Amino acid sequence: MRRSHPLIAAVAYLTLAFLYLPLLGVAIFSVNEARRGLVWKGFTLKWYLKLFQNEWILEAAWNTLLLALVSTIVATIIGTILAIAMDRFPWRRRTRTFLDIMLHIPVVIPDIILAASLVVAFGVLRLVSSIFEPGLLNMIIGHITFQIAFVALVVRSRLAAIGRELEEAARDLFASNWYLARKVMLPLLMPGIVAGAMLAFTLSLDDFVISFFTAGPDSQTLPLFIFAAVRRGVTPQVHALSTLIMLATVVLVVFTERITRQR
Amino acid sequence: MKPADAVITWYGELTTRYQLLKRGGGLLIPGILWLMLFLVLPSLVLVVVSFLSRGEYGQLEWIFTLENYKRLAGFSIFGWTANYLMILWRSVVVALVTTLVSVLLSYPLCFFIAARPRSSRYMWLTLVIIPFWTNMVIRTYAWFLILSPEMPVARLAAFLGVIPAGAPLYPNAVAVYLGMVSMFLPFVTLPLYASVERLDWSLVEAAQDLYASKTRVFTQAVLPQTIPGLSVGVILTFIPAMGMFVVPDLLGGAKYMLVGNLIQQQFGPSRDWPFGAAISMGLMVLTMIGLQIYRRKGKEIEVI
């Protein structure tokens, strides 16, 4: 084992402290008795209890989950099919390049541009139907749009990794398209699909910009709630809410690592 | 090329090119349709809107104009100002500095993690992954808290006379940089770590055996090996950093606006979609320039 130079270790520790101290601050003040200000007045869990009595927050939490779940399911299905379609058929080079660029657009452009173009697009679609009023549906559509790209990229790399020998063997044994998809491709692809879905889910929970641009008055999500709360001033309830979300993130990260490491 | 209806074997399947493309095309349809409808078309509409005019109440008017771009370039009825160009320029500078600092901090962190015993290495890496996935609003909010007047940092600054007593350490440029670097640091560290972990140390030893200076060991034996991870990290940081809107909004205030805030303003309170679209185009051009400069170096960009 190599040892790292003390200076390197010192910088590394400071960097980690730089990442974690603010988060730790939030966690500490979430169990602080004081209602206003940031002076330590003793330990309490009442802010957490209050969270569960706050209808706004409960609704925002529900919206956040609903948004993440629905968009992840749709994006995972569409993204997986897209990845298979792109990878397993003899497309011409030009088609391939075009598809490739399209998939990378949401990954590389700043999300605010995607958000802006969605605002304008929904503005146009609103002329056709009123279901495109700002709200949860628009947010779901927006999330699916960037999630598809990530799911497809993850599944595609899995497709490349599993190779085509087993598919070829199945074909040689007269497997039909449907049988091949169900009994050979799907089980082999599952780790990739799950990884893609987890990525999509986390991206949805993580998103602020797309939601902020497409949300309506009744589709508050937790990040939007916190953003609005910060402008009104920091409160212990928001500390508690943020801490809970951080804990949920930790659980999600550890869980994802477990799944993806099993491969 | 063989005709489309010639029988071929395609990985064990006896078929024709026509059959394959028909089936493949069918599978492409849902994804392509979605991306066309909600990604490609909206982007094109955005381009069109950037050439339209804003009506009195914020509605779109179908009058073709270059006014929005002129305004972005600083021309108005009151003459020329550099305001908007300054905001664009500032966004580029902030993104560059953020990327640079993140890279400088990521190298030691990656080498530190790579030097941990195998059993605990993963735990250290997870310490970087967690902030990576924590919602950016919460992380910005955390800085908001740390920099508020009652906290030790602000008190120290007040004691030293940097800020008046009882004032927070935001909004200002320093707060924006703190927020930005902490936001994007994991975006550099994680891809870079993938390269550092795979580093071939025998090359480093060889360089040392040949009496290379420490700088040369780094620039000639270490750096070239970490370029793949570094490029991904730089792309993942520089581009989103340019469009960043949450951090400057909460920690920068009106005086330290970045292009992300400017765009948000047009689509939010100002209701000036055409101008917002024009600014987005400006940001898009900057993004493309950034990507091109990167591609020029002949690197394969594999984003995930």
A186-219 confidence digits (pLDDT tens):
999 998 999 899 999 989 998 999 999 999 888 8
Q: How far is B20 from chain A (nearest CA, A)?
A: 7
Q: Which residues 225-254 in chain A show a CB within 8 A of chain B?
A: 226-227, 230-231, 234, 238-239, 242, 245-246, 249-250, 252-254
pLDDT tens digits, one per residue of B31-60: 999 999 999 999 999 999 999 988 887 788
- Per the CB < 8 A criterion, the answer to whether B273 and B68 are in contact is no
What confidence tier does B298 reach under pLDDT thresholds 50, 70, 90? very low
How many Cα atoms occupy the beta-carbon half-sphere of A197 within 13 Å? 16
pTM, 2 dp = 0.89
Q: How far is B84 from chain A (nearest CA, A)?
A: 17
Question: A12 and B137: CB-CB below 8 Å?
Answer: no
Question: B138 and A242: CB-CB below 8 Å?
Answer: yes
Determine if residue B58 is left, alpha or beta; phi over 0 gives left, psi from -120 to 50 gives alpha, anything else beta: left
Substitution target from A112, A157, A210 for chain B, most B beta carbons within 10 A? A112
**Can you identify the CATH homologous superfamily of domain A56-261?**
MetI-like (1.10.3720.10)
Determine if residue B52 is left, alpha or beta; phi over 0 gives left, psi from -120 to 50 gives alpha, anything else beta: beta
Sketch the domain layout of chain B as residue ranges: 76-296
**Can you identify the CATH homologous superfamily of domain B76-296?**
MetI-like (1.10.3720.10)
- Round to whole Å and give the CA distance between B34 and B30: 6
What confidence tier does B296 reach under pLDDT thresholds 50, 70, 90? low
- Per the CB < 8 A criterion, the answer to whether B138 and A64 are in contact is no
pLDDT tens digits, one per residue of A26-51: 998 888 888 766 677 888 888 899 88
Q: Which residues 235-274 in chain B show a CB within 8 A of chain A?
A: 235, 239-240, 242-246, 250, 260, 263-264, 267, 273
- Per the CB < 8 A criterion, the answer to whether A195 and A99 are in contact is no
Kindly report the number of other CB atoms within 10 A of residue A28's CB atom: 14
Residue in B93, B47, B88, B58 with CA at minimum distance from that of residue B71: B88
Residue A142 contacts B, CB cutoff 8 Å: yes
Determine if residue A174 is left, alpha or beta; phi over 0 gives left, psi from -120 to 50 gives alpha, anything else beta: left
